[in-house]
Structure 1
Amino acid sequence: MVERASYLKRLNSESVVQRVINCLTDAMLTKQLKPGDKIPTEMELSESLGVGRNSIREAIKILVYLGVLEIRRAEGTFVCEGFSESMIDPMVYGIILDKTDDYDNLMELRELIEVGVVHLAMQKYQEKELKDLENHLFVLKEEIQKGLGNIDAIFEADNQFHDAVSAMGYNPLVDKINKVVRVLTHGVRLDTVTRMVKTGRGMELYEAHEKIYCMLLNRDENNINELIKGTYFQE
């Protein structure tokens, strides 16, 4: 019989698949399994945990879908190294399906994250990155000036500007959470850009981004909450 790793304990029959997931997740949280480590085989896990191989297989499938594990042909199953975009989807669905969620809660979350993102960027950015952000600002202005038929390009330029600000904070955890929030607010943000352009207020949209750039340039934290909230252009 295969010797059991210390983090593997026999499970009862209730919610077996979820308990296998919990066991492997706990091992990762306690660093008994680290990024890049190979996990035990299905047979080894089955014997060590005292559950059927089908339950092990289903648990692994779920963790692969979540971007936590990866299967390498002829090698085995390994703990992933680094962030995968697939990790965002379950978080998004979890928030969407939460019955307590509403528009006001989402906007409060958006403001909280965006203020934090700008604050971190202000503390950590390098001069070259500020120049790159200025280029993103210039592109946004150019796309806005092209007019009504260019909304998709304007929205993309808007996204690239904010992605650049987020990267300037040098905090991958904040950057990941910011990505989730921006996915959740995609519709709201696209509607805002569309409305601003169609009502001839495209330059107001540009000026809101210019204020963020100037705030970063001057490392001026005064009224940061008011400035960020003022860029949402709610009707």
Structure 2
Amino acid sequence: MSRNPLREGVRALSVMGVLETRQGDGTYVTSHDSSLLLAPMGFVVDLQDHSGAHHLHAVRRLLETEAAALAARLIGPEDLTAADQMLLRIEAELAKDEPNHETVIDNDMAFHQIIARASGNPVLAALIEALGGRTTRDRLWRSISQQGADETTHAEHRSILAALTAHDPDRARARMAAHLFAVEDYLHERPPEPAQ
């Protein structure tokens, strides 16, 4: 094999996070951390135009419903406490006269990430994290534009946590699905975002 194809292969694997090149030191295999290896997928998702948001959320729903079912079997007291703490932070924010929607969304995302990690599958958790971060704008716009969306979402989160606490995979899957279907329904009906 000549040097040019080898160089291009190393460059491609570096972009994908499989290899790390250090000037003057050599080329090394990375830690194979799932989140690093899936980062290029996030870039591809970012290139999608806004009209495909409902497709992205549909994939998110498929992944997160199964993660919730897996987590219901495996979740421990520490993760249940952490998830409850996220929901308490949301409650405190929603109790304010002028809730900060970004704070609510940040805690919402943290809640979902706890569940994804509790699934016991690091690749699934990395996929959910990669996709979840790409849905922030849609979630924030729903929070701002749909009256009562934050309160409804919070009640759905509480029901998901109850299913996780009961270690009931079927209920956790169903409640996560209902929660994410509500987001998808909003995307089909939502008002247009203001021009930037």
Amino acid at match of 2:132: R
Of 151, 158, 177, the match for 1:210:
158
The answer on 1:166 being equivalent to 2:116 is yes
After TM superposition, list the pairs within 5 Å mapping 1:46-195 onto structure 2. 49=1, 51=2, 53-83=3-33, 85-95=35-45, 102-195=52-145
User: In the aligned structure 2, how far is the partner of 1:111 from the partner of 1:89?
Assistant: 19
Match of 2:190 in 1: none
Query: For the Cα contact (< 8 Å) 1:110–1:181, is it kept in 2?
Result: yes
* TM-score after normalising by structure 1: 0.67
The count of corresponding residues between Structure 1 and Structure 2 is 182
Tell me by how many angstroms 1:224 deviates: 4.4
Q: Superposition RMSD on alpha carbons, in Å?
A: 2.6
Tell me by how many angstroms 1:54 deviates: 3.4
The 1:180/1:62 distance shift into structure 2, 3 A limit, reads same
Identical aligned pairs, as a percentage?
23
Which structure's CA Rg is the greater one? 1
Amino acid at match of 2:33: F
Tell me by how many angstroms 1:105 deviates: 3.2
Deviates more, 1:64-73 or 1:90-99: 90-99
After the TM superposition, list the runs of 4 or more consecutive aligned residues in structure 1 that deviate by more than 6 angstroms: none
- Unmatched runs of 5 consecutive residues or more in structure 2: 187-196
* TM-score after normalising by structure 2: 0.78
The answer on 1:229 being equivalent to 2:177 is yes
Higher relative contact order (CA 8 A, sep 6+): 2
Q: Which has the higher helix share?
A: 2
Query: For the Cα contact (< 8 Å) 1:65–1:86, is it kept in 2?
Result: no
User: In the aligned structure 1, how far is the partner of 2:53 from the partner of 2:110?
Assistant: 24
Query: For the Cα contact (< 8 Å) 2:15–2:40, is it kept in 1?
Result: no
Cα shift readout 1:145-199 (whole Å, capped 9, x = no counterpart):
2244501111111111111111111211111111222133233222222234xx2
